[in-house]
Amino acid sequence: MIFLAALLLNWSEIVRLLSLREREKGVGDGIVEGHKYTVVQRGDQIYVVLPDHPRDRCESIVKKLLQKLKPEAEI
């Protein structure tokens, strides 16, 4: 599943806050609850890609990740 959020954070801050393994500028990978995810930043928007996460848990996982970045962020 793919989620979109608008955040005004720079890429280095996103990498630091989520402890991402950066593939290239604007693309990084992480693990949450034992599952891999990818974050892609395009301008002021980030995409959170959850390829192997249980479908019924995806939204709550994305909310957890976004709260690390910006507590008031919305999907």
In a domain, 74, yes or no: no
In a domain, 55, yes or no: yes
Model pLDDT for residues 6-65, shown as the tens digit of each residue:
777 889 989 999 999 999 999 999 998 888 999 999 887 889 998 877 888 888 888 888
And the tokens for 18?
A: 């989520």
In a domain, 61, yes or no: yes
> DSSP per residue over the chain, as a string?
-EEEEE----HHHHHHHHT-EEEETTEEEEEETTEEEEEEEETTEEEEE-TTS-GGGHHHHHHHHHHHH-TT---
Grade residue 75 by pLDDT with cuts at 50, 70 and 90. Answer: low
Give the 3-state secondary structure of residue 11: helix
In a domain, 28, yes or no: yes
Domain count, the chain: 1
Domain that holds residue 7: 2-69
- pLDDT value at residue 31: 92
In a domain, 22, yes or no: yes
Give the 3-state secondary structure of residue 44: coil
In a domain, 75, yes or no: no
Is 80 exceeded by the pLDDT of residue 72? Answer: no
